[in-house]
Amino acid sequence: MLRLKMYPARNGDAFLVDASGSHILIDAGFASTFNDHIAPDLRQLAHAGGQLDLLVCTHIDGDHIGGLLEFISSNGAPGARSIVEVKEVWHNSLRSLPSPPGPPDSASDRQVLEAIRRRGFLLPPASGPTANPISAKQGSSLAKRLKQHDYLWNASDGTTSMTSGRPPHTLPNGVQVRLIGPTVARLEELRTWWILEMRRLSYKGGAAVDPVVEDAYEMVCAYTRQPAPAMVKTISAASTKRLNEVYVPDISPTNGSSIATLIESEGKRLLFLGDAWAEDIVVELKRLHGDGGPHLFDAIKVSHHGSIHNTSVDLLSLIDAPIFLVSSNGSIHHHPDYEVLAEIVDRPATFERKIYFNYETPASTRLRAHVSRSGAKFQVDVVQDGWIHV
Protein backbone atom coordinates (compact mmCIF):
# COMPACT_ATOMS: atom_id res chain seq x y z
CA MET A 1 0.00 0.00 0.00
CA LEU A 2 1.27 3.45 -0.89
CA ARG A 3 -0.62 6.51 0.29
CA LEU A 4 0.13 10.08 1.34
CA LYS A 5 -1.37 13.11 3.03
CA MET A 6 -0.87 16.69 1.84
CA TYR A 7 -1.65 18.82 4.88
CA PRO A 8 -3.13 22.34 4.74
CA ALA A 9 0.14 24.18 5.39
CA ARG A 10 -0.96 27.66 4.20
CA ASN A 11 1.77 28.81 1.80
CA GLY A 12 4.09 25.98 2.90
CA ASP A 13 4.64 22.24 2.53
CA ALA A 14 3.80 19.27 4.76
CA PHE A 15 3.49 15.66 3.58
CA LEU A 16 3.13 12.32 5.35
CA VAL A 17 3.91 9.22 3.26
CA ASP A 18 2.85 5.71 4.25
CA ALA A 19 4.88 3.37 2.06
CA SER A 20 4.15 -0.27 2.89
CA GLY A 21 4.02 0.62 6.58
CA SER A 22 7.16 2.78 6.53
CA HIS A 23 6.32 6.39 7.40
CA ILE A 24 8.07 9.50 6.08
CA LEU A 25 7.26 13.09 7.08
CA ILE A 26 8.48 15.70 4.59
CA ASP A 27 8.38 19.23 6.07
CA ALA A 28 5.66 20.40 8.45
CA GLY A 29 4.54 23.85 7.32
CA PHE A 30 4.28 26.36 10.17
CA ALA A 31 3.84 25.67 13.89
CA SER A 32 0.06 25.77 13.60
CA THR A 33 0.17 23.24 10.75
CA PHE A 34 1.96 20.80 13.01
CA ASN A 35 -0.17 21.34 16.10
CA ASP A 36 -3.55 21.34 14.36
CA HIS A 37 -3.06 18.70 11.68
CA ILE A 38 0.14 16.64 11.88
CA ALA A 39 0.56 15.96 15.61
CA PRO A 40 -2.79 14.11 15.93
CA ASP A 41 -1.80 11.76 13.09
CA LEU A 42 1.63 11.11 14.60
CA ARG A 43 0.11 10.37 18.00
CA GLN A 44 -2.28 7.93 16.35
CA LEU A 45 0.67 6.33 14.53
CA ALA A 46 2.55 5.93 17.83
CA HIS A 47 -0.56 4.53 19.56
CA ALA A 48 -0.74 1.85 16.85
CA GLY A 49 2.89 0.90 17.56
CA GLY A 50 4.40 2.74 14.61
CA GLN A 51 7.18 5.28 14.21
CA LEU A 52 8.47 7.85 11.76
CA ASP A 53 11.13 6.02 9.79
CA LEU A 54 12.40 9.23 8.21
CA LEU A 55 11.82 12.92 8.89
CA VAL A 56 12.95 15.28 6.10
CA CYS A 57 13.43 19.03 6.43
CA THR A 58 13.85 19.94 2.78
CA HIS A 59 15.47 23.33 3.43
CA ILE A 60 15.74 26.26 5.82
CA ASP A 61 12.71 28.30 4.82
CA GLY A 62 10.01 29.44 7.21
CA ASP A 63 7.11 27.75 5.44
CA HIS A 64 8.85 24.36 5.60
CA ILE A 65 10.83 24.40 8.85
CA GLY A 66 8.44 26.12 11.29
CA GLY A 67 6.35 23.04 12.06
CA LEU A 68 9.46 20.88 12.41
CA LEU A 69 10.84 23.26 15.05
CA GLU A 70 7.56 22.83 16.92
CA PHE A 71 7.71 19.04 16.51
CA ILE A 72 11.26 18.53 17.74
CA SER A 73 10.78 21.03 20.57
CA SER A 74 7.71 19.12 21.78
CA ASN A 75 8.75 15.52 21.18
CA GLY A 76 11.06 15.11 24.17
CA ALA A 77 14.00 12.84 24.93
CA PRO A 78 14.99 9.54 23.22
CA GLY A 79 13.16 6.51 24.56
CA ALA A 80 10.43 8.74 25.94
CA ARG A 81 9.22 10.69 22.92
CA SER A 82 5.96 12.39 23.82
CA ILE A 83 4.53 12.24 20.28
CA VAL A 84 6.26 9.56 18.20
CA GLU A 85 9.65 7.86 17.84
CA VAL A 86 11.74 9.10 14.92
CA LYS A 87 14.30 6.73 13.47
CA GLU A 88 16.30 9.29 11.44
CA VAL A 89 16.24 12.95 10.41
CA TRP A 90 17.57 14.56 7.23
CA HIS A 91 18.35 18.26 7.61
CA ASN A 92 21.21 20.20 6.02
CA SER A 93 22.28 22.89 8.45
CA LEU A 94 25.57 24.74 8.86
CA ARG A 95 27.37 21.79 10.43
CA SER A 96 26.47 19.63 7.42
CA LEU A 97 29.19 21.36 5.38
CA PRO A 98 32.92 21.41 6.05
CA SER A 99 33.60 24.92 7.33
CA PRO A 100 36.67 26.64 5.89
CA PRO A 101 38.99 28.11 8.53
CA GLY A 102 38.34 31.75 9.36
CA PRO A 103 39.22 34.37 11.92
CA PRO A 104 37.95 33.81 15.48
CA ASP A 105 34.88 35.70 16.62
CA SER A 106 35.52 38.96 18.42
CA ALA A 107 33.43 40.20 21.34
CA SER A 108 31.41 42.39 18.95
CA ASP A 109 30.87 39.39 16.64
CA ARG A 110 29.40 37.41 19.54
CA GLN A 111 27.13 40.33 20.33
CA VAL A 112 25.77 40.23 16.78
CA LEU A 113 25.16 36.49 17.03
CA GLU A 114 23.47 36.79 20.41
CA ALA A 115 21.23 39.58 19.12
CA ILE A 116 20.06 37.33 16.28
CA ARG A 117 19.44 34.49 18.72
CA ARG A 118 17.42 36.72 21.06
CA ARG A 119 15.33 37.92 18.15
CA GLY A 120 14.60 34.32 17.24
CA PHE A 121 12.71 33.21 14.15
CA LEU A 122 10.79 36.09 12.62
CA LEU A 123 7.08 35.88 11.94
CA PRO A 124 6.04 35.15 8.36
CA PRO A 125 5.70 38.35 6.29
CA ALA A 126 1.92 38.14 6.33
CA SER A 127 -0.70 39.16 8.83
CA GLY A 128 -4.21 38.14 9.64
CA PRO A 129 -5.55 34.66 8.86
CA THR A 130 -2.71 33.77 6.47
CA ALA A 131 -0.02 34.19 9.12
CA ASN A 132 1.06 31.21 11.17
CA PRO A 133 2.70 32.29 14.41
CA ILE A 134 6.08 30.89 15.38
CA SER A 135 5.73 29.62 18.93
CA ALA A 136 7.88 30.81 21.83
CA LYS A 137 9.59 27.41 21.90
CA GLN A 138 11.28 28.16 18.63
CA GLY A 139 14.00 30.42 19.97
CA SER A 140 16.62 27.82 19.03
CA SER A 141 17.58 26.33 15.69
CA LEU A 142 16.42 22.94 14.50
CA ALA A 143 20.10 21.96 14.55
CA LYS A 144 20.35 22.71 18.27
CA ARG A 145 17.13 20.84 19.03
CA LEU A 146 18.25 17.75 17.10
CA LYS A 147 21.53 17.65 19.02
CA GLN A 148 19.88 18.41 22.35
CA HIS A 149 17.34 15.61 21.93
CA ASP A 150 19.84 13.12 20.50
CA TYR A 151 18.30 12.34 17.10
CA LEU A 152 20.08 10.26 14.48
CA TRP A 153 20.74 13.10 12.08
CA ASN A 154 22.03 12.71 8.51
CA ALA A 155 23.16 9.15 9.37
CA SER A 156 25.20 10.45 12.33
CA ASP A 157 25.38 13.79 14.16
CA GLY A 158 24.46 16.14 11.31
CA THR A 159 28.01 16.59 10.02
CA THR A 160 27.26 14.69 6.80
CA SER A 161 25.68 16.48 3.85
CA MET A 162 22.54 14.87 2.44
CA THR A 163 23.11 15.50 -1.25
CA SER A 164 22.53 13.94 -4.65
CA GLY A 165 24.84 11.12 -5.64
CA ARG A 166 24.56 9.20 -2.37
CA PRO A 167 23.44 5.55 -2.50
CA PRO A 168 19.70 5.00 -1.95
CA HIS A 169 18.64 4.82 1.70
CA THR A 170 16.67 1.68 2.63
CA LEU A 171 13.77 1.83 5.08
CA PRO A 172 11.81 -1.12 6.52
CA ASN A 173 9.73 -3.23 4.10
CA GLY A 174 12.12 -2.60 1.22
CA VAL A 175 11.29 1.08 0.79
CA GLN A 176 14.11 3.05 -0.83
CA VAL A 177 14.67 6.81 -0.69
CA ARG A 178 17.07 8.33 -3.20
CA LEU A 179 18.36 11.90 -2.96
CA ILE A 180 17.82 13.82 -6.21
CA GLY A 181 19.15 17.08 -4.74
CA PRO A 182 20.74 19.29 -3.63
CA THR A 183 24.36 19.27 -4.72
CA VAL A 184 27.15 20.18 -2.30
CA ALA A 185 27.73 23.29 -4.42
CA ARG A 186 24.20 24.55 -3.68
CA LEU A 187 24.73 24.13 0.07
CA GLU A 188 28.01 26.03 -0.17
CA GLU A 189 26.26 28.81 -2.10
CA LEU A 190 23.70 29.15 0.70
CA ARG A 191 26.48 29.40 3.28
CA THR A 192 28.23 32.05 1.16
CA TRP A 193 25.00 34.05 0.88
CA TRP A 194 24.50 33.80 4.66
CA ILE A 195 28.03 35.06 5.33
CA LEU A 196 27.34 38.09 3.12
CA GLU A 197 24.12 38.78 5.04
CA MET A 198 26.04 38.51 8.30
CA ARG A 199 28.66 40.96 7.03
CA ARG A 200 25.80 43.42 6.44
CA LEU A 201 25.03 43.04 10.15
CA SER A 202 28.69 43.89 10.98
CA TYR A 203 29.68 40.29 11.76
CA LYS A 204 33.34 39.76 10.81
CA GLY A 205 34.04 36.36 12.38
CA GLY A 206 34.85 33.03 10.80
CA ALA A 207 31.47 31.35 11.45
CA ALA A 208 33.01 28.29 13.06
CA VAL A 209 30.19 25.89 13.96
CA ASP A 210 28.89 26.22 17.51
CA PRO A 211 25.33 26.43 18.92
CA VAL A 212 25.09 30.24 18.72
CA VAL A 213 26.38 30.34 15.13
CA GLU A 214 24.03 27.53 14.08
CA ASP A 215 21.09 29.38 15.59
CA ALA A 216 22.03 32.53 13.68
CA TYR A 217 22.44 30.56 10.46
CA GLU A 218 18.96 29.08 10.50
CA MET A 219 17.26 32.21 11.84
CA VAL A 220 18.70 34.42 9.12
CA CYS A 221 18.13 31.90 6.31
CA ALA A 222 14.54 31.13 7.28
CA TYR A 223 12.97 34.53 6.65
CA THR A 224 15.52 36.95 5.18
CA ARG A 225 14.45 38.28 1.78
CA GLN A 226 16.51 36.53 -0.89
CA PRO A 227 17.42 37.30 -4.51
CA ALA A 228 14.47 37.05 -6.90
CA PRO A 229 14.58 36.23 -10.61
CA ALA A 230 15.15 39.26 -12.81
CA MET A 231 11.66 39.17 -14.32
CA VAL A 232 8.88 40.16 -11.97
CA LYS A 233 5.71 38.29 -12.78
CA THR A 234 3.00 40.58 -14.16
CA ILE A 235 0.64 38.03 -15.65
CA SER A 236 -3.06 38.83 -15.60
CA ALA A 237 -5.76 36.33 -14.73
CA ALA A 238 -6.75 36.29 -18.41
CA SER A 239 -3.21 35.68 -19.69
CA THR A 240 -2.83 33.00 -22.34
CA LYS A 241 0.95 32.89 -22.29
CA ARG A 242 2.71 29.53 -22.33
CA LEU A 243 5.21 28.43 -19.72
CA ASN A 244 8.19 28.82 -22.04
CA GLU A 245 7.24 32.50 -22.50
CA VAL A 246 7.21 33.35 -18.79
CA TYR A 247 9.71 30.93 -17.21
CA VAL A 248 12.75 32.49 -15.52
CA PRO A 249 14.93 30.21 -13.34
CA ASP A 250 14.88 30.55 -9.57
CA ILE A 251 18.00 32.05 -7.98
CA SER A 252 17.06 31.81 -4.29
CA PRO A 253 19.94 30.15 -2.36
CA THR A 254 17.59 28.50 0.15
CA ASN A 255 15.45 26.99 -2.62
CA GLY A 256 18.61 25.82 -4.38
CA SER A 257 19.59 23.94 -1.21
CA SER A 258 16.27 22.06 -1.08
CA ILE A 259 16.32 18.30 -0.54
CA ALA A 260 14.51 16.48 -3.37
CA THR A 261 13.74 12.78 -3.02
CA LEU A 262 12.60 9.78 -5.00
CA ILE A 263 10.68 7.28 -2.85
CA GLU A 264 10.27 3.76 -4.24
CA SER A 265 7.94 1.14 -2.77
CA GLU A 266 6.22 -1.93 -4.20
CA GLY A 267 7.26 -0.96 -7.72
CA LYS A 268 5.84 2.56 -7.39
CA ARG A 269 7.79 5.83 -7.41
CA LEU A 270 7.04 9.17 -5.79
CA LEU A 271 9.04 12.26 -6.74
CA PHE A 272 9.11 15.00 -4.08
CA LEU A 273 10.83 18.11 -5.40
CA GLY A 274 10.65 20.45 -2.39
CA ASP A 275 11.49 23.93 -3.68
CA ALA A 276 14.37 22.70 -5.85
CA TRP A 277 15.65 24.45 -8.96
CA ALA A 278 14.37 22.83 -12.17
CA GLU A 279 17.82 22.92 -13.78
CA ASP A 280 19.38 20.87 -10.97
CA ILE A 281 16.64 18.23 -11.14
CA VAL A 282 17.09 17.97 -14.92
CA VAL A 283 20.83 17.37 -14.52
CA GLU A 284 20.37 14.67 -11.88
CA LEU A 285 17.57 12.85 -13.70
CA LYS A 286 19.64 12.79 -16.87
CA ARG A 287 22.56 11.41 -14.86
CA LEU A 288 20.36 8.64 -13.48
CA HIS A 289 18.21 7.87 -16.52
CA GLY A 290 19.84 9.42 -19.58
CA ASP A 291 18.40 12.03 -21.94
CA GLY A 292 15.28 10.10 -22.92
CA GLY A 293 11.88 10.90 -21.51
CA PRO A 294 9.46 11.46 -20.17
CA HIS A 295 10.14 9.16 -17.21
CA LEU A 296 6.89 8.04 -15.61
CA PHE A 297 6.44 8.36 -11.85
CA ASP A 298 3.34 7.45 -9.89
CA ALA A 299 3.09 10.86 -8.19
CA ILE A 300 5.05 14.11 -8.43
CA LYS A 301 5.09 16.89 -5.85
CA VAL A 302 5.49 20.04 -7.95
CA SER A 303 8.46 22.19 -6.92
CA HIS A 304 8.02 25.45 -4.98
CA HIS A 305 4.22 25.36 -4.81
CA GLY A 306 3.86 25.53 -8.59
CA SER A 307 5.99 28.63 -9.16
CA ILE A 308 6.91 29.57 -12.74
CA HIS A 309 10.52 29.82 -11.54
CA ASN A 310 10.90 26.14 -10.53
CA THR A 311 9.12 24.08 -13.21
CA SER A 312 10.49 24.45 -16.72
CA VAL A 313 9.40 23.00 -20.05
CA ASP A 314 12.74 21.16 -20.01
CA LEU A 315 11.89 19.49 -16.71
CA LEU A 316 8.38 18.55 -17.83
CA SER A 317 9.85 16.90 -20.93
CA LEU A 318 11.60 14.46 -18.55
CA ILE A 319 8.85 13.70 -16.01
CA ASP A 320 5.19 12.77 -15.97
CA ALA A 321 2.73 11.07 -13.63
CA PRO A 322 -0.97 10.30 -13.20
CA ILE A 323 -0.86 12.28 -9.93
CA PHE A 324 0.55 15.79 -9.36
CA LEU A 325 0.58 17.44 -5.93
CA VAL A 326 0.42 21.24 -5.56
CA SER A 327 0.75 22.64 -2.04
CA SER A 328 -0.18 26.32 -1.48
CA ASN A 329 -3.09 28.50 -0.40
CA GLY A 330 -2.01 31.24 -2.82
CA SER A 331 -0.93 33.71 -0.13
CA ILE A 332 2.39 35.61 -0.07
CA HIS A 333 3.59 34.82 -3.62
CA HIS A 334 0.23 33.89 -5.24
CA HIS A 335 1.32 30.34 -6.03
CA PRO A 336 0.59 28.17 -7.93
CA ASP A 337 1.06 29.77 -11.33
CA TYR A 338 -1.53 28.85 -13.93
CA GLU A 339 1.10 28.58 -16.69
CA VAL A 340 2.75 25.66 -14.86
CA LEU A 341 -0.55 23.84 -14.34
CA ALA A 342 -1.63 24.32 -17.96
CA GLU A 343 1.72 23.03 -19.25
CA ILE A 344 1.38 19.89 -17.13
CA VAL A 345 -2.06 18.96 -18.50
CA ASP A 346 -1.50 20.20 -22.07
CA ARG A 347 0.98 17.40 -22.78
CA PRO A 348 -0.26 14.25 -24.55
CA ALA A 349 -0.87 11.24 -22.28
CA THR A 350 -2.41 7.79 -22.52
CA PHE A 351 -3.64 8.09 -18.91
CA GLU A 352 -5.77 10.58 -17.00
CA ARG A 353 -3.87 12.99 -14.77
CA LYS A 354 -5.19 14.00 -11.36
CA ILE A 355 -3.98 17.37 -10.06
CA TYR A 356 -4.40 17.50 -6.29
CA PHE A 357 -4.42 20.81 -4.40
CA ASN A 358 -4.70 21.39 -0.67
CA TYR A 359 -6.52 24.70 -1.22
CA GLU A 360 -8.75 26.15 -3.88
CA THR A 361 -6.84 29.04 -5.52
CA PRO A 362 -7.51 31.26 -8.54
CA ALA A 363 -5.16 29.06 -10.57
CA SER A 364 -6.85 25.80 -9.56
CA THR A 365 -10.27 27.29 -10.29
CA ARG A 366 -9.11 28.43 -13.71
CA LEU A 367 -7.59 25.00 -14.40
CA ARG A 368 -11.00 23.37 -13.88
CA ALA A 369 -12.27 25.24 -16.94
CA HIS A 370 -9.14 24.58 -19.01
CA VAL A 371 -9.23 22.31 -22.06
CA SER A 372 -5.99 20.43 -22.67
CA ARG A 373 -4.32 21.47 -25.92
CA SER A 374 -3.54 17.80 -26.62
CA GLY A 375 -6.94 16.53 -25.58
CA ALA A 376 -5.43 14.65 -22.63
CA LYS A 377 -7.85 13.95 -19.78
CA PHE A 378 -7.32 15.42 -16.31
CA GLN A 379 -9.17 16.02 -13.06
CA VAL A 380 -8.77 18.74 -10.44
CA ASP A 381 -9.35 17.88 -6.78
CA VAL A 382 -8.84 19.67 -3.45
CA VAL A 383 -7.87 17.42 -0.53
CA GLN A 384 -7.02 18.48 3.02
CA ASP A 385 -5.89 15.89 5.59
CA GLY A 386 -7.42 12.99 3.65
CA TRP A 387 -5.28 10.13 2.31
CA ILE A 388 -4.41 10.12 -1.37
CA HIS A 389 -3.93 6.55 -2.56
CA VAL A 390 -1.24 6.01 -5.18
pLDDT at 123 over 80: no
| pLDDT at position 140 | 85
Residue 127 is predicted with a pLDDT of 39
Confidence of residue 197 (pLDDT cuts 50, 70, 90): very high
pLDDT, position 169: 97
Q: What is the pLDDT of residue 152?
A: 97
- Considering the chain, what is the average pLDDT of its residues? 91
What the chain holds in terms of domains, given with CATH numbers, is: 2-389 (3.60.15.10)
% of the chain exceeding 90 in pLDDT:
81
pLDDT of residue 225: 75
Q: What average pLDDT does the segment 257-270 reach?
A: 97
Residue 290: pLDDT band (50, 70, 90) is confident
Which pLDDT score, from 0 to 100, does residue 130 have?
A: 42
Band of pLDDT at residue 129, cut at 50, 70 and 90: very low
The mean per-residue pLDDT over the stretch 164-170 comes to 96
How high is the pLDDT of residue 138?
Answer: 57
Mean pLDDT of the 274-290 span? 95
Taking 60 as the threshold, does the pLDDT of residue 372 lie above it? Answer: yes
The number of C-alpha atoms within 13 Å of 164 and in the hemisphere containing its C-beta is: 25
Q: Is the pLDDT of residue 128 over 60?
A: no
Kindly indicate the confidence band of residue 120, based on its pLDDT and cuts at 50, 70 and 90.
confident
Q: Does the pLDDT value for residue 360 go beyond 90?
A: yes
pLDDT average, residue stretch 246-270:
97
Q: Which pLDDT band, with edges at 50, 70 and 90, does 331 fall under?
A: confident
